[in-house]
Amino acid sequence: MARGTARAAGPADERLVALFLDMLAAERGAQNNTLTSYGRDLADLTAHLTKGRHSVSSASTQDLRGYLAALSRRGLGPATVARRLSAIRQLYRFLYAEGLRKDDPAAVLEGPKRSRPLPKTLTLAEVDRLLGAAAACDAAAPVRERVRAARLSCLLETLYATGLRVSELVALPMSAARRDARVIIVCGKGNKERMVPLNNAAKDTMANYLALLEQSGQCASSKWLFPSFGESGHLTRQHFARDLKSLAVGAGLRAEQVSPHVLRHAFASHLLHNGADLRVVQTLLGHADISTTQIYTHVLEERLKSLVRDLHPLAET
C-alpha cells in the first residue's frame, strides 16, 4: 500500500508544481529562466518527498525541515538553501490560497543564517584591458572572423555602458542600434520596460559591428541585434559567457574572475564610486526593490571615507 502511494505521488506532485509555475508565468510575468530555476528546485523537493513516501500534498512541516537538513548535508551553501526555501514557501502559499491544501506547512520554516556576500566586480583598469582586447582585431582576417570579433566588442561595450542583464543584452532588437538612439528600451523581468542610456563608445561599436554584419550578408533580415541560427533566433547567454571568458584569458585576467554578471556589477559599482545616486542605479539595473541595489552600499561607504579623508580640513592633522 505504501509503495503504491509513493508511486502515485509523482504525477500528482508534478501537476501541483505545474499549476504553480503556470501562475508565476500568467500572474507575475515570470520569464523562462525563472520558471526553469523554480521547476528544478521543486523537482528536487518532490524527489526527496517521494523517496520518503510523502508527497507535496501530504508533506508536513517536519518533512520540509527534513528536506532542508538534507540539503545542508549534501553540502549546499546557505544561499542555495535559502533560494530553495523561497520556492517552497511560495509553492505552499499558492496551494493554500487555491484551496489545494488546508494548511501551509512552510509558513513557519526558518531559513539558514547567512551574511550577504559582496558582489564580485572588476577595477577600471581591468575593464579597460577587456575592452582593449575586444577592440583589437586583425583587419586582414576573413570577414566572418571580423564579424565575430566586432560582435564580442559590441556586446562588451554595451554591457558595460548599460549594466543590462545578460538575458536582456543578447535579446536586444535590431532597433536598439539606430544611429540617432540615445537610449534603448529594455524589456526586463516581469515584462517591465525601462529606458537605459547609451554612450558614444557603445553606439560606435554597434555601428562598426552592423557594417561588418551587412558586409558578410549574415542574418540580414533578423530582428535581433545579435542574431544566431539557434532556436531562440539570437545569441545565447551561454555562448556569450564562453566568449567572454576566452577574451578574459587573452587580456591577462583569470577566466573565473569574469562573467557577464560581474560586468553588470562593475557598471553599478563604478557609477556609485563616481557619485551616482543609489536610486538612479536601481532604475538603470531594473531592480524592483531598492534592497537589491543596496548590495553596493560598500562602494558608497568607501567613497564617503575617501571624501572625508581628502576634503576634511583636519584630515591630515
- Are 85 and 147 members of one domain? no
- Are 37 and 90 members of one domain? yes
Question: Which among 174, 197, 171 is positioned nearest to 184, based on CA atoms?
Answer: 197
313 inside domain: no
Q: According to the model, what pLDDT value does residue 306 have? A: 57
Question: Residue 284 is part of which domain span?
Answer: 124-308
Among the candidates 97, 112, 138, a domain finishes at 97
- pLDDT tens track for 109-128: 987 765 566 678 899 999 99
- pLDDT tens track for 20-64: 999 999 988 888 889 999 999 999 999 999 999 999 999 999 999
Look at the alpha carbons of 210, 213, 217, 220 in this order and tell me if their dihedral is positive or negative.
negative
- Are 51 and 198 members of one domain? no
Q: According to the model, what pLDDT value does residue 299 have? A: 62
- Are 302 and 192 members of one domain? yes
Q: According to the model, what pLDDT value does residue 223 have? A: 87
Give me the DSSP letters along 223-271: SBSSB-SSTTSB--HHHHHHHHHHHHHHTT--GGG--HHHHHHHHHHHH
- Are 199 and 74 members of one domain? no
Say which residue the cell 532604475 belongs to.
283
Q: Hey, which residues are catalytic here?
A: 165, 189, 261, 264, 287, 296
Q: What angle do CA 45, 119, 136 make, to 5 degrees?
A: 115
Question: Which among 160, 136, 157, 194 is positioned nearest to 262, based on CA atoms?
Answer: 160
Write phi, then psi, for 77 (nearest 5 degrees): -75, 165
The span from the CA of 117 to the CA of 259, in Å, is 17
Contact 225, 186 (CB under 8 A): no
288 inside domain: yes
Q: What is the 3-state secondary structure (H, E, C) of 170-189?
A: HCCEHHHHCCCCCEEEEECH
Instruction: Tally DSSP H helices, then E strands, for the chain.
Output: 13, 2
The span from the CA of 180 to the CA of 61, in Å, is 58
13 inside domain: yes
- Are 163 and 272 members of one domain? yes
117 inside domain: no
Q: According to the model, what pLDDT value does residue 79 have? A: 82
**Is the entire prediction scored with pTM above 0.85?**
no
The rounded radius of gyration (Å) of the Cα atoms in the chain is 24
Q: What angle do CA 103, 36, 257 make, to 5 degrees?
A: 120
User: What is residue 191's three-state secondary structure?
Assistant: helix
Q: According to the model, what pLDDT value does residue 114 have? A: 56
Q: According to the model, what pLDDT value does residue 118 have? A: 65
Spell out the per-residue pLDDT of the chain, length 317, in tens.
Answer: 333 333 334 568 899 999 999 999 998 888 888 999 999 999 999 999 999 999 999 999 999 999 999 998 999 888 889 899 999 999 999 999 999 999 999 999 987 765 566 678 899 999 999 999 999 888 788 888 899 999 999 999 999 999 999 999 999 998 888 767 788 888 888 788 899 999 999 999 999 998 888 888 765 677 899 988 777 889 999 999 999 999 999 999 999 999 999 999 999 989 988 888 889 999 999 988 887 887 777 665 655 555 556 555 655 55
- Are 277 and 137 members of one domain? yes
Q: What angle do CA 37, 21, 116 make, to 5 degrees?
A: 40
Ramachandran bin of 53, using left for φ above 0, alpha for ψ from -120 to 50, beta for the remaining angles: left
